[in-house]
Structures are given as C-alpha cells and as structure tokens.
C-alpha cells in the first residue's frame, strides 16, 4: 500500500470515543488542520504527504512514522506463522545473538553469533533474521527456559505482535498495543507489568515469528 491507502485504512477503522467507528475525510481533515481535498489527494495518491503532516497523522492515529512509508518490500513484511519447533527442510542458519532473561536486555546486530540454528522460515524471504536464547521465566507461558525466539528484522510490528523494542538504551521483548493516547508494551508473563509510553519513545527492531527448541 502507498501512504494514502494506509491513511484511508486508519481513517475508516478509527474508533472514536463513544464507540463510533470510522471518520469521514472532512473529520480527519479538521482534526489535523488541512482541507478535505488534501485528504482526498493523499488517499488517491495524487499528492505526497509532507513530513509535518505525517507527524500530525502519526500522533493522531498513534502510529509510528515508518508505518506511513511507501510499500515495504516482501523482505520487510512479517506474516503470521505458527511456532517453529524442530526443523523441516529447507532451512537457513540463524545466528544466536544473545539472550532474553528479564524485563530488559542488551543486544547488537554487530555482536558475534554464539551459535547458529537450522531454522525453517517458510514464507519469510527475509533480509535478516536472528535468534535470542530464552533464560528464566520472562516469556512464560508462551515460551520456556532454554528455547529460542526466532526474530525477523523489521521496523514495524502490528498490534498484538511480540516484538523486540529499543527503549531507553536497552531492549525489551513485549507485545505492542496502540491506542490514541499511548503505546502499551505488554509482557506475556503476567508476573511482569505493562508499560505505557509515547509513540516517539521506542523503536521496533524485530518481530518474533516463532520459537525453536533443540531436539
């Protein structure tokens, strides 16, 4: 989708206070301070959205700026997949780049891989994938100590997806839920607390597509 199509999707699916679903082009135009014709031109692709208006749209819809980018290539699109236990051909070597042991952890794409896992990623023609070893109970009940989270590099995660998030110089592994006023980072383990932040306070670096358990 081009940016205008994404704007239209957000507009028609917007849930306003009071339960009303969807905004007219005129209502959106008024909310961000432009004319209805400008919204028409954006949604049809006849004109590009200037950066200041992208910022306004990002804040209004509680979406990251990169959500409004032009079509992502197939390498950047993360689809739903079942958990990956064991391997089935064809497989690719996925580097293990550290571990997830609690609320926050350190991570770098540049660090030397501890080992490589033979992982099948059907339907994922990815530009980069990696694994993180799970230690302790940080991901209970979704995954367990000794398993590996398989991650596809991505700058965007859909609502409800388990994602690697860069936050305050560290990283955390949480599910992302967006609302109009904030972003909620929700842990799978109920022993940990959710965190509410502003859209510009975090960056998605990867989305978990499954889990790997050694035989």
In a structure prediction context, what are the per-residue pLDDT tens digits for the chain, which is 215 residues long? 788 899 999 999 888 776 778 899 999 999 999 999 999 999 998 888 876 787 788 888 888 766 776 643 333 223 333 434 343 445 778 889 989 877 788 888 788 888 888 887 765 544 578 999 998 888 888 888 999 999 988 888 888 899 999 988 889 999 999 988 899 999 888 888 898 998 888 899 999 988 988 87
pLDDT the model gives residue 26: 94
Rounded to the nearest 10 degrees, how much is the dihedral formed by the CA atoms of 107, 113, 114, 115?
130
pLDDT the model gives residue 82: 40
**Could you tell me which residues come within 8 angstroms of residue 95 by beta carbon, excluding any fewer than 6 positions away?**
113, 114, 115, 116, 130, 131
pLDDT the model gives residue 85: 39
**What CATH class does 3-68 carry?**
mainly alpha
- Other Cβ atoms within 10 Å of 16 Cβ, number: 11
Residue extent(s) of CATH 2.10.109.10 domains in the chain: 92-212
**Could you tell me which residues come within 8 angstroms of residue 215 by beta carbon, excluding any fewer than 6 positions away?**
86
Residue extent(s) of CATH 1.10.260.40 domains in the chain: 3-68
pLDDT the model gives residue 39: 93
CB burial of 191-207 (b: ≥16 within 10 Å; e: otherwise) equals ebeebeeebeebebbbb
The reply to whether CATH 3.30.390.50 applies to domain 92-212 is no
């Amino acid at each position: 989708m081009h940016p205008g199509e994404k704007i239209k999707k957000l507009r028609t699916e917007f849930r306003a206070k009071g339960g009303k679903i969807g905004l007219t082009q005129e209502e959106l135009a008024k909310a961000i301070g432009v004319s209805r014709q400008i919204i028409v031109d954006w949604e049809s692709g006849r004109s590009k959205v200037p950066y200041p208006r992208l910022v306004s749209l990002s804040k209004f819809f509680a979406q990251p700026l990169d959500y409004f980018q032009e079509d992502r290539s197939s390498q950047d699109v993360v689809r739903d997949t079942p958990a990956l236990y064991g391997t089935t051909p064809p497989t690719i070597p996925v580097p293990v780049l550290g571990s997830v042991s609690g609320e926050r952890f350190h991570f770098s794409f540049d660090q030397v891989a501890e080992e490589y896992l033979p992982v099948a990623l059907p339907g994922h023609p990815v530009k980069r994938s990696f694994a993180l070893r799970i230690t302790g109970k940080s991901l209970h009940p979704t995954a367990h100590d000794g398993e590996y989270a398989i991650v596809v590099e991505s700058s965007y995660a859909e609502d409800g997806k388990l994602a690697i998030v860069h936050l305050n110089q560290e990283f955390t592994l949480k599910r992302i839920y967006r609302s109009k006023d904030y972003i909620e980072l929700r842990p799978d383990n109920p022993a940990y607390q959710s965190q509410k932040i502003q859209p510009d306070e975090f960056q998605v670096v990867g989305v978990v597509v499954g889990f790997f358990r050694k035989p």
